[in-house]
Amino acid sequence: MSDLQAQFEAAVASSKSLPERPDNTTLLTLYALYKQASDGDVEGRRPGFTDMVGRAKYDAWAAIKGTPAAGAMQQYIALIEKLKAI
């Protein structure tokens, strides 16, 4: 396992014990970065207007389409570190 992968997994684990719950925009960013790092670009159809949460998640993930997995991992780690410092 690469060092970056290990740091990413540690950041994912520590995301569950942040000092306070991040706002919804930050949570969507974390979701999108996690999905991009682990699954790659978003695929499939955008959820319908009745599924607002699914639609917001899809849109957040689609906004970073094309970001390499390593870049998404680095951004995720940096954001978690920033949230832990708050």
Specify the CATH number for the domain of residue 44: 1.20.80.10
- Predicted confidence at residue 72, as pLDDT, reads 98
Q: What is the pLDDT of residue 1?
A: 66
The structure tokens listed for 26 are 């930050």
| Beta carbons within 8 Å of 50's beta carbon, 6+ residues apart | none
Secondary structure element (H or E) that encloses residue 35, with its range? helix 24-39
**SS3 breakdown of the chain: % helix, strand, coil, rounded to 5?**
70, 0, 30
Q: What is the pLDDT of residues 20-76, one digit of tens each?
A: 999 999 999 999 999 999 999 999 999 999 999 999 999 999 999 999 999 999 999
CA-derived radius of gyration, the chain: 13
SS3 4: helix
Range of the domain at 32: 3-85
How many domains are contained in the chain?
1
pLDDT value, residue 86: 78
